[in-house]
Amino acid sequence: MTRRHHHILSTSIAALSATLILGAPSLAHAYRPFDGTDAEVAELGELELEFDTFVTFATAGIPDLTSPVLTVNVGVYRRIELVLETNNELYRPAVGKATDRLDETHLFLKGVVREGFAQGKTGPSIAIEAGPWLPNINGLIGDGIGGSVATICSVQVAQTIAHFNALAAFDLEKHAEIFGSIILEGLKDRQVRPITEILATHTFGGSTTYSALFGAIWKANKDLDVDLAVRALSTDNIPMGQVRFGFTLRAPLWHPG
């Protein structure tokens, strides 16, 4: 679920770190640069393309590069979107040749079950997102199929928007996982708005991750957002840092009749 704690440590702890990070939830919901998401969906016939690059720094070893971190959202019905997301990680082992590895590939349906402020109405907006996690390609682990279901609630209080995420899943190794996050951001009509996300994930029989993200989203125009954020995280008391930067592009695929 949770999407994206991949990095390579020095030879002495490489195997342990890979196990912890790849075993951690890898939430990659459709709202960059966060791990959680909001209670909004793409308009019918609209495409939202989210493209990010993650650079992860550990206490030792070579920084890990994950690019692209890609999410494609398509509005397929009123209040419903199809979400496809995946990560391409450049994996550099302690010895041997670097390889690309495609992981955290998810196929979701996301639907708004209560229209609220995010849809131009009053009160909280509530959405459900659910679907399968697909097998990794060239991954060290995770050649099975998993799945998750998430509940998202978005509210506005004064000049701040808050998104609450609660997710339960079975990962590719059939471990149960839970995820919770709180996203805070400025109003979306601002050209530059500050953003924060606090999250925790836990894999039963595996690792626990806590993280905090801080950054900003620049609204370049009505169809393009640019994001930049830094993230501090700890997986089973192993500290890491991450820089995330990318963009979200919106465009019509077809015009509803």
Which pTM was predicted?
Answer: 0.86
Going residue by residue through the chain, which has 257 residues, state the pLDDT in tens, using 9 for 90 and above.
444 444 333 333 333 333 333 333 444 455 889 999 999 999 999 999 999 999 999 877 778 899 999 999 999 999 999 999 999 988 776 667 778 888 889 999 999 999 999 999 999 999 999 999 999 888 666 678 999 999 999 999 999 999 999 999 999 988 999 999 999 999 989 999 999 999 999 999 999 999 999 999 999 999 999 999 999 999 988 999 999 999 999 999 998 87
Domains of the chain plus CATH, in order, are 11-249 (2.40.160.40)
Q: How far apart are CA 129 and CA 124, in angstroms?
A: 16
Q: Name the residue type at position 178.
A: I
Task: Produce one character per residue of 111-125: b if its CB has 16 or more CB atoms within 10 Å, e if not.
Answer: bbeebbebeeeeebb
User: Cα(4)–Cα(15) distance, rounded to whole angstroms?
Assistant: 17
Residues 151, 43: Cα–Cα separation, whole Å? 20
> Please, are residues 132 and 170 in contact by the beta-carbon 8 Å criterion?
no
**DSSP H or E run through 23:** helix 14-23
pLDDT digits over 193-217, tens only? 999 999 999 999 999 999 999 999 9
Q: Which of 63, 45, 76 is nearest to 6 (CA)?
A: 63
| Tens of pLDDT, residues 99-146 | 888 888 999 999 999 999 999 999 999 999 999 999 988 866 667 899
Half-sphere exposure (CA, 13 Å, Cβ side) for 56? 28
